[in-house]
Amino acid sequence: MTYRFEFNPYQRQFRHPLTTHHGIWKVREGIILRLVDEKGRVGWGEIAPLPWFGSETLEQALTVCQQFPSQITSTDIFSIPAEFPACQFGFESAWDGLVTSNGEDEGESRIETEQISQSLTHASLKYSYLLPTGEAALTSWQQGWQQGDRTFKWKIGVTSMESELRWFEQLVQILPESAQLRLDANGGLTQHQAQQWLQVADQAGIVEFLEQPLPPEEFAAMRAMYDQYRTAIALDESVATLNQLKTCYQQGWRGIFVIKAAIAGSPTQLRQFCQAHDIDVVFSSVFESAIARQAVLNLAVELSHPHRAVGFGVNHWFV
């Protein structure tokens, strides 16, 4: 079977830029893929790279697309090298969509409206609400609470530790008792700061986990901290791709794994690994648009830890 292959780069500005320890991110760039089989069935995919997290760049992804002929086979799709994890995800999920598609070409309208038509199964997931970075979190959590979210995520390691600790204490005071809070440092803390955060988190009781306190090179220190504190630790940047995830697992990581499936690589291989190992996973967004989000949420329904909210809590990312 051969498939007709088309691709279209896109650029979309966020309504709210994302501020993290890595800097300010304003525009999502990616590539929409379309496959059509000999029966006219259509499969859509999306490549949504995150180079500052260790995936390929948009330029590299474009080169992969340009090097394919306009008719491709599943062998082409399954031979994309692991150094292009966002491409592996985009092409495989487009191919997957073909297999399950009923022949209706619904993709155009999905891109146009951006509104994710959340299927019933996606409604069974719990969502984590991403708070704005800094002091703004103190007044914005209600929005998430009102739409039913009970898990909140807040970026730290962005400005002075003193200010962030002060805002954190205020946030702990005002959040309702049944709320849970995730702290995401994006690898931006020193070991001493990470220990301070874990101490206050242990006392606060509301913190579900501290995400990626140290840069990936400091794996051993994070593993040691995991044993020393009650608050759980989640790896994110350290496990951006499936190969990194496997390495951390083999090196004895038994804390939480954040999976950003859109940049993790082959969804088939990701599924195999998650089903073969009893790991505590949290699915999370890379601010992909509706096509990749749909594919990621399908995986999350299948593989997510039932008590862990998925990190897709805000639906108004694009202008």
Which one of the spans 65-73, 160-168, 213-221, 278-286 is the region binding ligand OSB (CB under 6 A)?
278-286
The residue whose two tokens read 């070409």 is 105
Q: Is 105 annotated as a binding residue?
A: no
**29, burial (CB in 10 Å: exposed 0-12, middle 13-18, buried 19+):** middle
Which residues, listed in sequence order, are joined to residue 154 by a DSSP beta bridge?
183
Structure tokens at 111: 């891109």
Residue 5 parent element (H or E):
strand 3-20
Structure tokens at 208: 């579900």
From candidates 133, 238, 284, 294, binder to ligand OSB by CB under 6 A:
284
One symbol per residue from 141 to 180: x for binding ligand OSB (CB under 6 A), - otherwise; what is it? ------------x---------------------------
* Identified catalytic residue from 126, 153, 246, 260: 260
Q: Is 202 annotated as a binding residue?
A: no
Between residues 149 and 236, which has the closer beta carbon with respect to Mg ion? 236
Does the footprint of ligand OSB cover residue 28 (CB under 6 A)?
no
One symbol per residue from 147 to 186: x for binding Mg ion (CB under 5 A), - otherwise; what is it? -------------------------------------x--
Q: For residue 31, which of 109, 102, 84 has the smallest C-alpha distance? A: 84
Q: Is 288 annotated as a binding residue?
A: no
Residues 6 or more apart from 122 whose CB is under 8 A from it?
116, 297, 301
Residue 189: how many other CB atoms lie within 10 Å: 24
From candidates 168, 236, 245, 279, binder to Mg ion by CB under 5 A:
236
- Is 155 labeled as catalytic in the residue annotation? yes
SS3 146: helix
Q: How far is the CB of 195 from ligand OSB (least distance, A)?
A: 21
Structure tokens at 299: 């995986």
Round to whole Å and give the CA distance between 43 and 102. Answer: 10
Known catalytic residues?
Answer: 155, 260
Q: Which residues are annotated as a binding site for Mg(2+)?
A: 184, 211, 236
Residues binding ligand OSB (CB under 6 A)? 20, 50, 128, 130, 153, 184, 186, 236, 284-287, 311
